[in-house]
Amino acid sequence: MFAGQGAQVPGMGRDFAEADAEVMSLFDKANAVLGFDLKKICFEGPAEELTRSNICQPAIFVTSYAAFLSLKKRKDVVFDCAAGLSLGEWGALCAAGVLDFDSTLKVLEARGRFMQEACEAAESAMIAIVGASAEQLAELCAKTGCTVANINSSAQQVLSGSKDAVAAAAATARELGIKRALPLATAGAFHSKFMEPARGKLAAVLDEVAFAAPKFPVLSNVTGRPHSGDPGEIRAMMLRQVTETTNWAADVECAKDLGCTTFVEFGPGKVLSGLVKKIDPALNVLNVADLASLEASAAGL
C-alpha cells in the first residue's frame, strides 16, 4: 500500500537514505529529474513548502518508493497485489513496473501542479463524514450539491464541493444526525468536477509517458478492481481517477478476495494502515515509514 497526499512530514525518508547509498541515490535522481532540491525539502522541510501539491506528490512517492526498496532489500518478500490512495496509486503502478521511476516522478510533479492550479481557479473544499448511513450520505449530497470524493471505509467518507456547499454540508450533517462532519485543510475539492482542468492538462503529459502491463495486479481506486493488462486502459483509468471517487474500501475488499491477509503500508504516516484495520480488524497490517518500522515489519513478515 502506498500513502496518499496529506501524509507528508519534514524529515521523511532521511534515515532510509542515510542508511543505504542506493536509497540515497533515489533522492539524488529525483533532484536531477525535477530540477529542484526535493531531497532537502523531504529531509528538512519547511512544512509549508512540502505541503504544495507539486512538491508533496513527488516527495511522498519518492519516500514511499524508498521504503518499498528498503524492505525488498531487507526481506525477500513477494507481493500478490499493490494499491495506493490517490497519488499513492501511481506508486503502486511504479512498483508493479507499469511506469519507471523517472516517469512517475514527472507525472506526479505535473499532476500536483495542475491540481493546485485547479484549486486556485475556483473556491472549493472537502469535508470528512464519519458514521453516516448510505441513506444519510445520499441525502446530504442531494441537499448540498457535494459529491463523494473518497470512500475510505463504510464508516468514513469524504465529500468535495464548493466552499459554500461544504459549509452547508457541515450544518446539514448535524440536522441529519450524522455522527461527525469535519472540514479538511486541503487546497480544494480533489476527486470532483473541480479537477476537470487538471485532468485535461494531465492527459497531454500521460500521452508522452510509456506505460507497460503490470507485473502483478494493481488495484484501481476508480473501480475497486485490478487494472487490466492493457497500458492504454491503465492510462485512461488514471485520468478518470483525477475527477472521480476513490474507493479505498473496495480496494481493500478486492485484495482480500485475492487472498491477501497481510497488508504493508509504505511511506510516511499510517493512514492506510488505520483504514485497513477499521475495515477488517482481523487483517495483519504492517507499515514501513522509517528504519524502526522497517525492522519491525521485516520481522513480522
- Mean pLDDT, the chain, as a whole number? 96
3-class DSSP state of 286: strand
Distance CA 93, CA 219 (A): 9
Res 6: pLDDT: 85
What does the pLDDT average to over 197-202? 97
Res 35: pLDDT: 95
What does the pLDDT look like over 133-155, one tens digit per residue? Answer: 999 999 999 999 999 999 999 99
Distance CA 52, CA 255 (A): 31
23 dihedral zone (left: phi>0; alpha: psi -120 to 50; beta):
alpha
Helix boundaries (H) for 148-247: 163-175, 196-206, 231-243
Say whether the peptide bond before residue 46 is cis (omega within 30 degrees of 0).
yes
Band of residue 101 on the pLDDT scale cut at 50, 70, 90:
very high
Distance CA 255, CA 263 (A): 9
What does the pLDDT average to over 103-132? 96
Beta carbons of 81 and 45 less than 8 angstroms apart:
no
Res 298: pLDDT: 96
Domains and CATH numbers, the chain: 14-120+192-300 (3.40.366.10), 122-183 (3.30.70.250)
CB atoms within 10 A of CB 48: 8
Instruction: Supply the residues annotated as catalytic.
Output: 86, 191
pLDDT at residue 164 greater than cutoff 90: yes
Distance CA 252, CA 272 (A): 10
Band of residue 20 on the pLDDT scale cut at 50, 70, 90:
very high
User: What percent of the chain is predicted at pLDDT more than 70?
Assistant: 100
What does the pLDDT look like over 37-93, one tens digit per residue? Answer: 999 999 999 999 998 889 999 999 999 999 999 999 999 999 999 999 999 999 999
What does the pLDDT look like over 230-262, one tens digit per residue? Answer: 999 999 999 999 999 999 999 999 999 999 999
Distance CA 255, CA 80 (A): 9
Res 187: pLDDT: 87
